[in-house]
Structure 1
Amino acid sequence: MGIELELHSERPGARKRAPGATLLRESHQHGEALARALGTLELDPSGKLSWIDPYGDTLFNEQEAQVVCAEAAALAERCTDEQRKAALLDLAALLDECAATPGSYVRCVGD
């Protein structure tokens, strides 16, 4: 089980475009470590990071991405496992890019 990450220039699937037409960047290298990190680390239940579904897709707009980015970075600081920490930092970087890109979305694709 893993969670793949995608950064889109606009809401994916919102318009009839070729698949992947809105895709700006994606990350697959930390999928399993990210799923383990989100499954084993203590998440703030009131935060948005806990929204990520390891079995389905989760979408964050640029405003939500800003909040989730801070949560992921804070969680990475507390993480002692290097692979999980790298996965959380990768997620934070993608969310940060989304927060800085008007109209963009991050999609977390679960297994």
Structure 2
Amino acid sequence: MGIDLELHNGRPHRQKPTLIRRSSEHGEALAGLISELPANTSGKLWMVDPYDDTLFNEQVAEAALREIPDLLSRCTDDARTAAVRDLAAFLEACATTPGSYLVFVGD
């Protein structure tokens, strides 16, 4: 199980290319961390489905950025830390790019 990240410059469409960049390097570590988050909290990352695609718009990405310090504190190894730093970079890029979407591509 893994979660890839895709940043799009608009709502992803099959007919129109919107992909800006993609990361699949840390998918397994990211999926592990997200699956350990408590559900039904005020956070946003617990809503990511490791088995299906989940879309965050720029406002949700901005809110999810506030969860990065807690996620970093949960890291038990370098792979997880690298996954969170990668996620933070994608969230930041989405939050600062008007009209963009971050897609969590689940298995």
On whether the aligned pair clears a TM of 0.5, the verdict is yes
Query: How many residues get paired?
Result: 107
Question: Is the contact made by 2:44 and 2:63 (CA closer than 8 Å) also made in structure 1?
Answer: yes
Task: For 1:1-111, list aligned pairs within 5 A.
Answer: 1-13=1-13, 16-17=15-16, 21-42=17-38, 45-111=41-107
Q: TM-score, normalised by structure 2?
A: 0.90
Q: Percent identity?
A: 56
* TM-score (normalised: structure 1): 0.87
Aligned Cα RMSD in Å? Answer: 1.7
**Structure 1 segments (4+ residues) deviating >4 Å:** 41-44
Q: Is the 8 A contact 1:30 1:86 kept in 2?
A: yes
Q: Distance in 1 between matches of 2:106 and 2:67?
A: 19
- Tell me the CA shift for residue 72 of structure 1: 2.6
